[in-house]
Amino acid sequence: MHEILTEIDAIFDEPATVDESGCLELALAHLRRHGVSACFLVAPCGSVRLMHPRTHALPARVDPQLLPGAAEPSHPERVHLDTGIHGPQPVAFLPLPQEEEEERGWLGLLLDPDAEPPHLERRERSEVLALARCAARYLRLARRLDQQRTRSRHLQNEERVLRRAFGDTIDRVLEEREQHLREKREHIDQLEREVEKRSAALREALERAEQANRAKSVFLANMSHEIRTPMTAILGYAEALLDPSVSEAERLNAVHTIRRNGQLLLDIINDILDHSKIENGQMKAECEPCDLPELLSDVYSLMRARSEAKGVPLVFRAQGAVPRVIRTDPTRLRQILINLVGNAIKFTDAGYVRVTVCLCPPAPGADPAAPPQLQFSVTDTGIGIAPEHQARIFDPFCQADSSTTRKFGGTGLGLAICRRLTELLGGQIDVESELAVGSTFRARIDPGPLDGVELIDQPALELALASAARPAAIEHLELQRPIGRVLVAEDGPDNQRLICFILRKAGAHVTIAENGRLAVDLALRALADGAPYDLILMDMQMPVMDGYAATAELRAAGYTHPIIALTAHAMSGDRERCLATGCNEFATKPIDRADLLAKIHRILRAREAGSA
Ligand code: ADP
């Protein structure tokens, strides 16, 4: 389009050899001597188009009345034309010869005021008119050129408009396309990222599942091994006892072995329960005010027998002042200490085991403004742990050395449990050890708010520990006292026999009920007869009516005498459930004779004190 317009422009821009006013000038040259001062062209519609010389003023139009007909011959008439500026001026009009397709026009002659219209000879007249026609043609061409120029301008404008419109549209379309593409690309990127994220999550889940599967297999293999080892000893020695020819010494040895391995099995089961609770996130700390010397005394009295049996003294130290009462979960803290002290005694044949307690600043890396932590260091002079094993021993089922299991037994769960428990109590655990020199395990816990708490030192702690021996002695004396009449609700014949044996040995009169229904009936009848049982030992899992329903029915009937729950369910929450049902105490199976008797005596003593 642009090229065409440029071409058209070039045609019109060609310089004319003779311009229109030049033609009129030549015509005027002929006419001047006839008294013509200027000449002009009149278009067929009467409009004045061209004047030479231009110094003269003329109206824009000529009244058609003034214009002679085309047939008028060579003698033009003199008329007056009002220019509006110079007033009426004498003029004469010569009709231009009309060629084919040409518009007719006139040659206007402005006359000198005194001049008459010229009488032109034939040749002169035709020359003049030819020049005028030529001027008229130029005029028309110029007009057409103007028109073409105008059209060209229009076209250019249109082109610009179209260009703008098209340009805008194209730009917009392109922009829209690009935007669309960008969005598509972004969408694809997002999808790819999403797919990548999901694949990673799936890979992770798969990895976790595989890990869990591997851990489960390792766990089962470990457990199978752990349980089979003591089981082999128990079954083997039990069978040996059936032989009537075993000597008294062999019998005693077999019984001790069976007992020790039974205890080991129980420890394993407890560890597994704790470990699974930790794994399931069910292990919760139940913090309460806790008397520190009392708790250390408990640990001391529990572990003392073991350390004495090995000839390894167990000592407790307070380094600096320590709080008498802290806020923590005493059961979990006791469990940590028993585990660490148990290991220390287990892995030490000579020297000592020392438990040091102190208040210490927050661990390195912790907030320096944080309150101090309470640290328990368990130091032994035992076999020690090689540096390459020290980091792993806190992992579940990990033992520093495989020969350890063979020599000392154990599941490799104890320290893993300790680590989680210390974390649960707001602290952490670590170890420092040297092979053949000994180890120090440090467990730090959050002791809770210490403002206004009484502080005690080494002598006060020693005093508390010294008195730790006394309760055992008192319990021992208490055990000698007859227990009275006991109703045992228990369905298993072996357990019935065992409980009867323990209680009768302790001087009790025992009645057996095989289920909860019978127990309720017997207890209520004895109460009605005015001779209630001193105590009911209630197994919680029984046929016909379980211990929960039986206890609830007794309490609902106004039965106020003591009931101790007996259950093989040792998971957290079981104790609370038994107490909530109305039991006064809770003992677990397998039965720990000393623990059961101690609980019975404590309950009976409390009742006596209450009724006194
Ligand atoms: P377990 O004692 O049942 O094997 P633990 O998790 O309590 O499991 O201990 C893991 C391992 O750490 C032990 O098998 C032993 O190799 C090592 N260990 C723990 N305590 C001591 C210690 N006081 N002295 C030497 N080694 C120890």
- 427-475 tens-digit pLDDT: 999 999 999 999 999 999 999 998 888 888 888 888 777 765 544 444 4
Name residues of the chain where pLDDT drops below 50: 1, 4-5, 7-18, 470-479, 612
The predicted structure's pLDDT at residue 329:
92
Spell out which residues line ligand 1, taking CB within 6 angstroms: 343-344, 347, 380, 382-383, 385, 393, 399-401, 404, 410-416, 439
DSSP-based helix, strand, coil % in the chain, nearest 5: 55, 15, 30
With the most atoms of ligand 1 within 8 angstroms of its CB, the residue from 275, 338, 341, 393 to mutate is 393
d(CA 520, CA 540): 13
With the most atoms of ligand 1 within 8 angstroms of its CB, the residue from 223, 399, 431, 442 to mutate is 399
The predicted structure's pLDDT at residue 72:
56
- Provide the Cα torsion 148, 154, 160, 166; round to 10°: -110
51: left (phi over 0), alpha (psi -120 to 50) or beta: beta
Ligand 1: which atom is nearest the Cα of residue 412? 8
Collapse the DSSP code of 16 into the 3-class scheme (helix H, G, I; strand E, B; otherwise coil) and give the result.
coil
**What's phi and psi for 466, nearest 5 deg?**
-65, -35
Nearest CA to ligand 1 atom 2: 410
253: CA distance to ligand 1 center in Å? Answer: 27
pTM for this prediction = 0.54
Ligand 1: which atom is nearest the Cα of residue 401? 16
With the most atoms of ligand 1 within 8 angstroms of its CB, the residue from 223, 343, 395 to mutate is 343
The secondary element (H helix, E strand) that includes residue 537 is strand 535-539
412: CA distance to ligand 1 center in Å? Answer: 7
147: CA distance to ligand 1 center in Å? Answer: 111
Ligand 1: which atom is nearest the Cα of residue 413? 6
pLDDT of 296-308, one tens digit each?
Answer: 988 888 888 889 9
285: CA distance to ligand 1 center in Å? Answer: 24
The predicted structure's pLDDT at residue 401:
67
The predicted structure's pLDDT at residue 338:
93
CB 333 within 8 A of CB 370: no
d(CA 423, CA 434): 25
402: CA distance to ligand 1 center in Å? Answer: 11
d(CA 132, CA 40): 9
Ligand 1: which atom is nearest the Cα of residue 384? 25
Closest CA to 138 of 37, 244, 26: 26
312: left (phi over 0), alpha (psi -120 to 50) or beta: beta
The token pair at 255 is 């019984």
Residue 538 vs residues 549, 557, 584: alpha-carbon distances, Å: 11, 17, 11
What share of the chain in percent tops pLDDT 90? 27
With the most atoms of ligand 1 within 8 angstroms of its CB, the residue from 263, 352, 385 to mutate is 385
The secondary element (H helix, E strand) that includes residue 563 is strand 563-567
The predicted structure's pLDDT at residue 481:
62
The token pair at 432 is 């420092």
327: CA distance to ligand 1 center in Å? Answer: 28
Nearest CA to ligand 1 atom 23: 344
